[in-house]
Amino acid sequence: MSSTEDRRFEVLRAIVTDFVATQEPIGSKALVEKHHLGVSSATVRNDMAALEAEGYIAQPHTSSGRVPTDKGYRLFVDRISEVKPLSKAERTAILRFLDTAVDLDDVLRRSTKLLAQLTRQVAVIQYPVLSTARVRHLEVVALTPSRLLLVVITDTGRVEQRMVSLREPLDDDHLAQIRTVFGAALDGKRLEDASVAVSDLANNAPADLQGPILEIATVLIETLVERGEDRLILGGTSNLARSAADFAVDGGGMDDVLEALEEQVVVLRLLAHAQQTDQVTVQIGEETRDDNLRSTSVVSTGYGASGTVFGGLGVVGPTRMDYPGTIASVAAVARYVGEVLAER
């Protein structure tokens, strides 16, 4: 990049930084007075004219200063060289807050609350995707000789409990056999493979166990197949009110944004870009490909452990957001969520 292009990017960076902080259009005089750009006011005005001609900034009103466009935000985000690290105190506070959660649901609820507080945006997290999880343990508990409790625990920390009512009671020996058979078939398998293994058990069961194995297998298969409900948790929707003026009526007003967030399929599509745990994705304005979200940006990443992505998390807010700080917070929370779930 040439020195002229470098200087113009510094002008754009200053405009983005000041506009995010003040929500006021930025003029050349303010840039010269506040930022040490090392050039004259005339040069700054020329650079601003060039940036406007190239679509990186715009003039919302005659005789006003300039504001960044989606294209300008895009260049700014693409040039963020590294994610600024959180302080030791912030990291410790995040880990302590998440590590005291009692179960998966609590971890995810705490994560959205924490992310919404850190970024002052709407936070969203996806429940661990069952198809990518592995069975860590299957517990078969006899409540009565003909009533069983099945507890499936995955490596993502998810716990599923199901009741099975048997037509015929089981004695202790048969119950022990069933525990051994199902445990061997499921242990360590991805849920999508586990459902196939359970089907094979039902088809090849010995005659004296065929009935109860088929009944248990039927319930387990329903448990192991991906379900559509309870897949997302949102937090901090009240934060949208603080940024109401940022949501243009003709580009996805606040009501439109709230409507879009209520549609799980829309949010899941936005999080579908979060397929890696070490990469934060930023979708700005029209890049969200949703008319109701044209005034928003989505910052997201994947969370998981040992190279496996459990799901996605991120924030939704106005395009006028603190991108470096938001990216850092999203990356940090995702990393610690993965660590906490991996230890459970």
Last residue of one domain, picked from the residues 206, 224, 242: 224
Tell me, yes or no, whether 120 and 162 share the same domain: no
Instruction: Report d(CA 106, CA 223) in Å as an integer.
Output: 21
What CATH number did the domain enclosing 179 receive? Answer: 3.30.390.60
98 in a structural domain: yes
**Whether residue 331 sits in one domain with residue 282:** yes
| Residues 199, 221: Cα–Cα separation, whole Å | 8
- Residues 106 and 190 both lie in one domain: no
Residue 338, domain member (yes or no): yes
Two tokens at 75?
A: 């260049």
Q: Residue 280: which H helix or E strand, with range?
A: none
Residues 104 and 208 in one domain: no
Tens-digit pLDDT profile for the chain (344 aa)? 468 888 999 999 999 999 999 989 999 888 988 888 888 889 999 999 999 999 999 988 876 789 999 999 999 999 987 777 777 888 888 888 888 888 888 999 999 999 999 999 999 999 887 666 788 888 999 999 999 999 988 887 778 888 999 998 999 999 999 999 898 888 888 877 888 888 888 778 788 888 899 999 888 887 777 554 447 899 999 898 888 888 865 556 888 888 888 888 888 888 887 677 778 999 999 999 888 898 999 999 999 887 788 889 999 999 999 999 999 999 999 999 988 887 76
Instruction: Say how many CA atoms lie within 13 Å of 22 toward its Cβ.
Output: 16
Q: What is the CATH number of the domain that holds 271?
A: 3.30.450.40
Q: Of 171, 192, 224, which one is at a domain's C-terminal end? A: 224
In a shared domain, residues 241 and 336: yes
Is residue 83 in a domain? no
193-to-15, 132, 240 alpha-carbon distances in Å: 53, 10, 42
Kindly state whether residues 122 and 147 are assigned to the same domain. Answer: no
Same domain, 103 and 251: yes
Angle between helices 70-78 and 3-22 (to 10 degrees): 110
Let me know whether 94 and 240 are in one domain: yes
For residue 20, how many other CB atoms are within 10 A of its CB? 19
pTM above 0.75, yes or no: yes
Specify if 20 maps to a domain. Answer: yes
Residue 285 lies in domain: 88-129+230-342
